[in-house]
Amino acid sequence: MGKIESDSIANDFLQGLLKGDRAKCSALAHEYLAQNPSIKDLYEKVFRVALYDVGKLWENNKITVATEHMATAITEGILNELFEQIISTDRTNKKVVLACVEGEKHQVGIKMVADMFEMKGWESFFLGSGIPTGELIRFIRQTEPHVVAISLSIYFNYANLVKMVEAIRAEFPEILLLVGGQAFTRITNNELEKTPKLVMLSDLNMLEQFIDTLNRK
């Protein structure tokens, strides 16, 4: 499917989200998959594009928080619709713990990341938004994952992310950390880049390559 068709579906999807038309959004997602059966492309070229636009509309005072929440809820509902078909039966015995940074409420992006890991046969433990760092550390200790992935959507939570990464790194020096999210499109001087064993990923294509590399090990 070409970029123009993807952009057109992403735009229709955005309009559906803003009107609260869940049925239309769901139909568009299934229509996209009928033409291009790549869930990764659907996430990257439709959901991500539309939700970033929703974020921009809120930032530019064009829509209310309620509309933004509705758009997110509709998208999360569709992720759940697709979730059953993405769980790979070919399991790798690898584990990933995923969470939003402390204070962050936006969980749809990291959910897509969790789905990518599931698609590649990983066991994903999705802790959602607003998990305190102490709780996350306790969960990591209990689960012993191969990767911990943290999402940052709102720039103002960057300081929380830095603290969270430092705390995890101090507790688990060897664990592979993965960070990403919409906020990184604005961060120019990212001090996290110096953190050992930390990978920054900006889109799902890079994430797919990253997981494939780990699966080959």
Partner 1 sequence: MNDLNTHLAYWSNLICELSSTGHSVALGLFTTEGKLLYANGPMCYYLNTTETELQAKNFFVNPQFDSFLQGEGLVFEGYTTIGNYADSSFVLLAKVYKQADQVFVFAEPNVPELFENNLKLSELNQQVNNLQRQLIKEKKTLELTLAKLKETQQMLIHSEKMNALGKLVAGVAHEINNPIAFVFSNLHSMGNYFDDVFNAYLQLEQMIGKTCDGKLLEDAQSIRKNADLDFLKEDIDDMLSETKNGVNRVKTIVDDLRRFSRLDEAESKTIDLIENLRSTIAITRVQMDPKRIKFSFDAPEKLVINCFPGQLNQAILNILINAIQAVPDQGEVSMKVASDNDEVHIIIEDNGPGIPPEIQSRIFDPFFTTKPVGSGTGLGLSITYKIIVEQHKGSIRVQSDSGKNTVFEVSFPKNKIKS
Among 87, 156, 159, 197, binds partner 1 (CB under 8 A): 87
Pick out residues in 119-158 that bind partner 1 (CB under 8 A): 126, 128-129
- 77 counts as binding partner 1 under rule CB under 8 A: yes
Measure the CA–CA gap between 122 and 93, rounded to whole angstroms.
Answer: 6
Q: Whose Cβ is closer to partner 1: residue 60's or residue 89's?
A: 89
Smallest gap from residue 148 Cβ to partner 1 (A): 18
- 69 counts as binding partner 1 under rule CB under 8 A: yes
Residues in the chain, how many? Answer: 217
Which region, judged by CB under 8 A, interacts with partner 1, from 27-35, 46-54, 83-91, 145-153?
83-91
Concatenating the DSSP letter of every residue in 97-150 gives: EEEEPTT----HHHHHHHHHHHHTT-EEEE--S---HHHHHHHHHHH--SEEEE
- 174 counts as binding partner 1 under rule CB under 8 A: no
Determine if residue 17 is left, alpha or beta; phi over 0 gives left, psi from -120 to 50 gives alpha, anything else beta.
alpha
Q: Whose Cβ is closer to partner 1: residue 98's or residue 207's?
A: 98
Q: How many residues bind partner 1 (CB under 8 A)?
A: 18
What number of other Cβ atoms are within 10 A of residue 33's Cβ?
16
